[in-house]
């Protein structure tokens, strides 16, 4: 029997998973490779970071999502390079070290970007995966705990000052949820401190927050954030972040917890491809989503810049990644049948950002919505798009529980050692790895970090 064409997909996020599923009934063999074993619903990551949901409620094992798709296999491995000439992907963490393809779909997404200040990452955690979300949750909850034990009022104020850098949708969501956590959820849990007195500051370099939304909605979001105790400072440039807090030129904001939502760049995988990239490392794809001069290699989602519709890149959102993925599946099949591949056309169904538990902003064509109605719409859309029924149900239940009781079921501190470190507060702010003892010598050669 003749071998069927082999489609290799790198990444099991919105783009990669959608592409694999779109090929379910086609006469091809699909291998989906991801360095994580789960598909992650990133739009709800901030809920994990703010203790509203548990990690398992917003992620699903890729293997189980695809288990009924007979033509698909899943490989847990990291693709470290792509050889476009020999048509192979180079793997780390798998039994084999390379895999050949007839068609390749790159959907490896993006990563946090500190604009040349990678040292800031230590003090200002970004929000890109579950590890980030759990680390943010740990830092935020431990800051409140440390403040409760602190006698020095200056240090206590620093512990209760939270700075979010970046006023895009992720920064707005984080700041709103932080304000709500401090003012509403934790309000009655402590005896010595008043969590509601915590300061949440949202810093934005541009003239206003949510620049991708109309000005009216940006103003509405600023007002809603103020209602949650969040101070928005637009037109501010962060010049340094260290263990003491954030510097804006001469001005210093003492803060123990800084969150980074100011930018992302494409997966490192794009660098070795030898094709044109933009400033943030995104592949400048052709109109049919192929790489220039490589008609059987496609790229979709956050790792791409698509300039063929209006001249400016499409936004890094899940609908863009999913629509591109479906289009690539179509073009792969067109190519196999000897038909022409079609240019991609994005259909914009709108955008939304949520602010705490009862407000959001939404733009759907010419319709601009704010407040509770927009939040209800946001809720419906996000639950509808969750991957499995179990997740939908669990998320809805937890939200309803947290909405009506003001309680947070996922308010757990993990990865925190109470016995190490010179003092509780300095321990509270140290990354877990720092407070862990060095690995014991094993006598069996250098220790390897476990794969992520």
Ligand X SMILES: Cc1cc2nc3c(=O)[nH]c(=O)nc-3n(C[C@H](O)[C@H](O)[C@H](O)COP(=O)(O)OP(=O)(O)OC[C@H]3O[C@@H](n4cnc5c(N)ncnc54)[C@H](O)[C@@H]3O)c2cc1C
Residues that bind ligand X (CB under 6 A): 10-16, 33-36, 42-43, 45-46, 78-79, 107-109, 127-128, 170, 267, 269, 301-303, 316-319, 321
- What's the farthest any 2 CA atoms get from each other in the chain? 76
CA neighbours closer than 13 Å in the CB half-sphere of residue 221: 38
User: In terms of Cα–Cα distance, which of 106, 26, 30, 103 is closest to 296?
Assistant: 103
What whole-number distance in Å separates Cα of residue 343 and Cα of residue 289?
7
- Give min distance, CB of 135 to ligand X, in A: 13
- Give min distance, CB of 67 to ligand X, in A: 17
Q: Catalytic site residue 173?
A: yes
Question: Which of 79, 142 has the CB closer to ligand X?
Answer: 79
Q: Which of 57, 78, 173, 204 is catalytic?
A: 173
CB 370 within 8 Å of CB 230: no
**3-state DSSP percent of the chain in helix, strand and coil, to 5:** 35, 25, 40
Enter the tokens of residue 55: 């990690």
Collapse the DSSP code of 363 into the 3-class scheme (helix H, G, I; strand E, B; otherwise coil) and give the result. Answer: strand
Collapse the DSSP code of 364 into the 3-class scheme (helix H, G, I; strand E, B; otherwise coil) and give the result. Answer: strand
Write phi, then psi, for 130 (nearest 5 degrees): -65, -35
Question: Which of 160, 277 has the CB closer to ligand X?
Answer: 277
- Give min distance, CB of 40 to ligand X, in A: 6
Question: Which of 28, 387 has the CB closer to ligand X?
Answer: 387
Question: Which of 46, 162 has the CB closer to ligand X?
Answer: 46
Write phi, then psi, for 245 (nearest 5 degrees): 145, -145
- Give min distance, CB of 272 to ligand X, in A: 11
CB 258 within 8 Å of CB 208: no
- Give min distance, CB of 165 to ligand X, in A: 14
Regarding beta strands 359-364 and 367-370, do their DSSP bridges make them parallel or antiparallel, or are they unpaired? antiparallel
What whole-number distance in Å separates Cα of residue 138 and Cα of residue 434?
14
Report the chain's C-alpha Rg in angstroms.
23
- Give min distance, CB of 111 to ligand X, in A: 8
The H or E element that residue 387 is part of is none
Question: Which of 176, 195 has the CB closer to ligand X?
Answer: 176
What whole-number distance in Å separates Cα of residue 306 and Cα of residue 304?
6
Question: Which of 195, 316 has the CB closer to ligand X?
Answer: 316
Instruction: Name the residue number minimizing CB distance to ligand X.
Output: 13
CA neighbours closer than 13 Å in the CB half-sphere of residue 4: 12
Catalytic residues: 173
């Amino acid at each position: 029997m003749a071998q069927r064409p082999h489609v290799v997909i790198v990444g099991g996020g919105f783009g990669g998973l959608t592409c694999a599923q779109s090929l379910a009934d086609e006469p091809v063999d699909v291998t989906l490779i991801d360095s994580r074993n789960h598909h992650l619903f990133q739009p709800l990551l901030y809920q994990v970071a703010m203790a509203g949901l548990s990690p398992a409620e917003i992620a699903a094992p890729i293997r189980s999502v695809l288990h009924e798709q007979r033509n698909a296999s899943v490989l847990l491995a990291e693709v470290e390079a792509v050889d476009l000439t020999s048509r192979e992907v180079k793997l780390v963490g798998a039994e084999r070290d390379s895999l050949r393809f007839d068609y390749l779909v790159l959907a490896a997404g993006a990563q946090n970007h500190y604009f040349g200040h990678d040292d800031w990452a230590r003090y200002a955690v970004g929000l890109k995966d579950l590890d980030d979300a759990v680390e943010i949750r740990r830092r935020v909850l431990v800051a409140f705990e440390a403040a409760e034990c602190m006698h020095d009022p200056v240090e206590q104020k620093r512990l209760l000052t939270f700075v979010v850098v970046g006023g895009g949708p992720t920064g707005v969501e984080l700041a709103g949820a932080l304000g709500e956590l401090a003012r509403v959820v934790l309000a009655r849990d402590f005896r010595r401190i008043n969590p509601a007195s915590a300061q949440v500051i949202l810093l934005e370099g541009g003239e206003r927050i949510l620049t991708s939304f109309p000005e009216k909605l940006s103003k509405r979001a600023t007002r809603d954030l103020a209602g949650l105790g969040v101070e928005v400072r637009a037109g501010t440039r962060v010049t340094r972040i260290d263990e003491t807090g954030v510097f804006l030129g001469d001005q210093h904001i003492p803060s123990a917890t800084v969150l980074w939502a100011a930018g992302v760049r494409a997966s490192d995988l794009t660098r070795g491809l030898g094709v044109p990239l933009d400033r943030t490392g995104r592949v400048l794809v052709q109109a049919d989503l192929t790489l220039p001069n490589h008609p059987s290699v496609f790229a979709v989602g956050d790792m791409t810049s698509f300039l063929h519709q209006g001249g400016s890149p499409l936004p890094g959102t899940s609908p863009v990644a999913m629509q591109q993925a479906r289009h690539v599946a179509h073009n792969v099949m067109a190519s196999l049948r000897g038909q022409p591949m079609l240019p991609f056309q994005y259909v914009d169904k709108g955008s939304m950002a949520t602010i705490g538990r009862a407000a959001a902003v939404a733009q759907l064509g010419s319709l601009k919505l704010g407040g509770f109605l927009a939040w209800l719409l946001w809720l419906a859309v996000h639950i509808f798009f969750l991957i499995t029924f179990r997740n939908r149900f669990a998320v809805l239940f937890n939200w309803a529980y947290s909405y009506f009781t003001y309680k947070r079921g996922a308010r757990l501190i993990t990865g925190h050692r109470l016995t190490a470190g010179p003092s509780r507060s300095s321990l509270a702010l140290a990354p877990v790895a720092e407070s862990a003892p060095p690995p014991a010598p094993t006598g069996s050669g250098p220790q390897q970090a476990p794969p992520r």
